[in-house]
Every structure is written in structure tokens, then in C-alpha cells.
């Protein structure tokens, strides 16, 4: 026991002395940087072992008719005759200076493609999170109000079923049902951005955001429920009760406000997930988001596009998680003390 006390004393001393290196936020930033480096290596290696390369992508079946000399010249042109390590460093150097490569079919730069697709995905993710919160938080509050009773079990069962319905199935069912019954299907027309045609854009976002919102509501419901149950038995709630605080004020000011902290974290994680995990729904509802950019790249065997886009998605995922962590520290002073 004494050893443990000594250790923690030493740790807290070290905390103060090596303020920067040991600061938890600095450590998380360092960790995120290492992770990103690993992510870049993994995406590079992944798309190195792909059957077929840029030459096949650019020339299709005609690549088989090329003479060895032509293949060699093309390999030099695309830089794939260089050693793997220098290829990787070249690609990474390009990425760091904003050069994500160029699509071989459309001749657009991946950077400009991403600049177009990413806002669509972010818009979709924001709407999905709002719907998820609107369904999950009241559901969790309802479940936590009488734990173990009928309303708790019903909301838990509903969330379990919502969790079990794959989003692509829900999307396919909803869109075909709408088309067959009322004939209203805004996503059948070409996609319009929020700036081009706000009214149509919101209609086009409604169904995919609803499908995604339903799929992220269950974790938000579970988190809300668990957090409320934990907070309710905290000392300060008992103190508030002892002071005579009751009813709405107790529920909202003392319980809900504190219980929402983990819900914010969960929403952050889900937001990060949606940036790349929405690709099936983007595909079905024809939202030209970043996930669809990956799918299109895979279909057209545009591995340079896939490689850079996957890297962008993973980088944003890491950054959103890092940000969530930092915000969590700011919102909840108890985490800073630990």
C-alpha cells in the first residue's frame, strides 16, 4: 500500500515537472499522431497488394496488349518502379503538402473531389446525430425513470431491435416503400447541395438521416439510461434532495446536466463513425459523400483515389475522437483531477 502511495506521489510530481510531455492531452495528441502514421502505412500497404495497378486502371483490358517496354515506361511514369519505401515517402510527402493524387478517369484531384464530397457527408452526419439524440435521449430518460419496469423493458427491446436492423435493409425497404406507395422520392433526382437548392437538399437528406439516426439512437439511449442511473445515486444528488430540491429542477439541473456528459462523448464517437460508416446509406440514397467516393473508386479500380480518401476518413475519425476526448476533459472537471 505504501508503495502505491509513493508511486502516485511520484507520478503527480512528474506530472508537474514534465508538464508538457506528461500532460494527458499532450499524450493523447502524441498517440493520435502515431496512430495516423500507422494508418497511412496500413492504407498504403493495403492498396499495394491490390490485384491490378494504376496501369490496368488507366488502360483497362488494353493493358494486356502493351509491350514490356511500354509497361516499363508507364511504370516509370506512375512511379511504381521505385522501391516501395520511397513510393510511400513520396505519397506521404504529397499528402502532407495537400497533394492527395489525381483520379485517372476524371482527371480531378482527390483534394477537390474530397472538398466537394466531405461537406455532404458532414451535413448528413449532423442531421443523423440530431435525429439520434432526439430519439435516444428521451428514450433513455424514459427507460431510466423506472428501471426494470415495463417502460424500461420496452425501450430496451426497441433499441435492441433497432440495433439489429441493418441500415442498408432499412434504407432499401423505406425507399422502395415510398416509391411504390406515394411515389415521393426526392433522392431520385440529381443531388443538390444545401447552397444550390436548400429545400430539395433537406428533402434529400431526410431519409438517409432518418435511417442513420435510427441506427445510432440505440447506443445513445443506452448511454443516457446508464448515465442517469449512475448520476442519480451520486452524493451531490442526495445532498440536493436533502436541501429540498425536487421535481423538475432536480431532474434537469442536477441529474440530466451531468448525465449528458457521457452522451456528448458517445455522440462524438458516433459522429466520427458516421464520416466513413455512412457509405452504404450514401450509396442507396445517392448522396455524393466521401463514403461514396471510396465505393466509386473501388468500383473503377482507382486505387490512388481510394487510398487517399480512406486516409482522409481515418484521419478525421482520429481527430474527432481526439477532440471528443479534449472536450470531455473541459466539460467534466473530474477527469482532469484523475
Q: Are 159 and 221 in contact (CB under 8 A)?
A: yes
Q: Does 211 bind other proteins (CB under 8 A)?
A: no
Q: Which is nearer to other proteins, 69 or 299 (CB)?
A: 299
- Whose Cβ is closer to other proteins: residue 74's or residue 310's? 310
Taking the complex as a whole, the smallest distance from the CB of residue 195 to other proteins amounts, in Å, to 27
CB of 35 vs other proteins, minimal distance in Å: 4
The size of the interface with other proteins (CB under 8 A), counted in residues, is 48
Residue pair 155/139 in contact by the 8 Å Cβ criterion: yes
For residues 288 to 327, the per-residue mask of contacts with other proteins, x marking binding by CB under 8 A and - elsewhere, is ---x--xx--xx------x---x--xx--xx---------
Task: Please select the residue that binds other proteins; options are 137, 144, 212, 275, rule is CB under 8 A.
Answer: 275
Quote the CA–CA distance of 273 and 216 in Å, as a whole number: 10
Distance in Å, CB of 168 to other proteins, minimum? 5
Q: Does 148 bind other proteins (CB under 8 A)?
A: yes
Nearer to other proteins, 144 or 201 (CB): 144
Which is nearer to other proteins, 178 or 240 (by Cβ)? 178
Q: Which residues contact 321 (CB under 8 A, 6 or more apart)?
A: 32, 268, 269, 272
Distance (Å, rounded) from C-alpha 161 to C-alpha 169? 13
Pick from 22, 24, 25, 36 the residue near other proteins by CB under 8 A: 36
Q: Binding residue for other proteins (CB under 8 A) from 11, 62, 108, 161?
A: 161
Query: Residue 314, Cβ neighbours under 10 Å: how many?
Result: 20
Is 245 within 8 Å of 308 (Cβ atoms)? no
Q: Which of residues 231-260 bind other proteins (CB under 8 A)?
A: none
d(CA 207, CA 127): 10
Q: Which of residues 57-116 bind other proteins (CB under 8 A)?
A: none
Q: How far is the CB of 291 from other proteins (least distance, A)?
A: 7
**For binding to other proteins (CB under 8 A), which residues are involved?**
31, 34-36, 38-39, 42-43, 46-47, 49-51, 147-148, 160-161, 163-166, 168-169, 172-173, 176-177, 179-180, 272-273, 275-277, 279-280, 283, 291, 294-295, 298-299, 306, 310, 313-314, 317-318
Amino acid at each position: 500500500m505504501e508503495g502505491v502511495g509513493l508511486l502516485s506521489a511520484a507520478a503527480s510530481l512528474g506530472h508537474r515537472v514534465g508538464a508538457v510531455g506528461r500532460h494527458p492531452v499532450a499524450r493523447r495528441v502524441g498517440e493520435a499522431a502515431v496512430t495516423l502514421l500507422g494508418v497511412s502505412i496500413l492504407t498504403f500497404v493495403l492498396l499495394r497488394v491490390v490485384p491490378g495497378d494504376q496501369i490496368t486502371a488507366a488502360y483497362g483490358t488494353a493493358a494486356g496488349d502493351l509491350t514490356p517496354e511500354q509497361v516499363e515506361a508507364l511504370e516509370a511514369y506512375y512511379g511504381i518502379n521505385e522501391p516501395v519505401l520511397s513510393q510511400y515517402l513520396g505519397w506521404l510527402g504529397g499528402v502532407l503538402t495537400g497533394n492527395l493524387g489525381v483520379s485517372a478517369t476524371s482527371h480531378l484531384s482527390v483534394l477537390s473531389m474530397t472538398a466537394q464530397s466531405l461537406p455532404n457527408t458532414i451535413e448528413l452526419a449532423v442531421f443523423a446525430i440530431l435525429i439520434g439524440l432526439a430519439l435516444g435521449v428521451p428514450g433513455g430518460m424514459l427507460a431510466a425513470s423506472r428501471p426494470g419496469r415495463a417502460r424500461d423493458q420496452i425501450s430496451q427491446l426497441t433499441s435492441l431491435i433497432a440495433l439489429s436492423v441493418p441500415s442498408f435493409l432499412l434504407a432499401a425497404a423505406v425507399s422502395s416503400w415510398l416509391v411504390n406507395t406515394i411515389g415521393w422520392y426526392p433522392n431520385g433526382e440529381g443531388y443538390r447541395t444545401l447552397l444550390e437548392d436548400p429545400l430539395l437538399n433537406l428533402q434529400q437528406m431526410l431519409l438517409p438521416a432518418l435511417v442513420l439516426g435510427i441506427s445510432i439512437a440505440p447506443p445513445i439511449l443506452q448511454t443516457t439510461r446508464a448515465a442517469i442511473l449512475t448520476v442519480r445515486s451520486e452524493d451531490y444528488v442526495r445532498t440536493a434532495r436533502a436541501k429540498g430540491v425536487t421535481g423538475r429542477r432536480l431532474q434537469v439541473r442536477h441529474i440530466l446536466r451531468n448525465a449528458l456528459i457521457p452522451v456528448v462523448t458517445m455522440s462524438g464517437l458516433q459522429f466520427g463513425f458516421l464520416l466513413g460508416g455512412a457509405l452504404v446509406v450514401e450509396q442507396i440514397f445517392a448522396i455524393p459523400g466521401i463514403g461514396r467516393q471510396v465505393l466509386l473508386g473501388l468500383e473503377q479500380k482507382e486505387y490512388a483515389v481510394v487510398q487517399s480518401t480512406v486516409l482522409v476518413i481515418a484521419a478525421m475519425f482520429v481527430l474527432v475522437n481526439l477532440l471528443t476526448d479534449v472536450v470531455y476533459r473541459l466539460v467534466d472537471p473530474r477527469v482532469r483531477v484523475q
